[in-house]
Amino acid sequence: MLQILGAGCPRCEMLANNVEAAAKSLDLDCRIEKIADVNRITSMGVLITPAFAIDGEVRVAGKIPSVEEIRDMIEDEGVEAE
């Protein structure tokens, strides 16, 4: 599962768009969860949003990785369609 952590600000939406584009470029039909609950975000160790996680493991926080960077992270993790 791919996860976007953030309250829905423009930067969070940009990250969400990049994650969706990366998944689409890999022809990956998987769940993308948007987490806006501050308590849940901080419990995952994130203090600066937006953040991107794969299966609950935070990969990036406080910046917006490119579509290519996200695609590489997804491939490295071996994420498969749900």
Residues annotated catalytic, as ranges: 9, 12
- The set of residues, in sequence order, having a beta carbon less than 8 Å from that of 72 and lying 6+ positions away, is none
CA 49 – CA 35 distance, rounded (Å) = 11
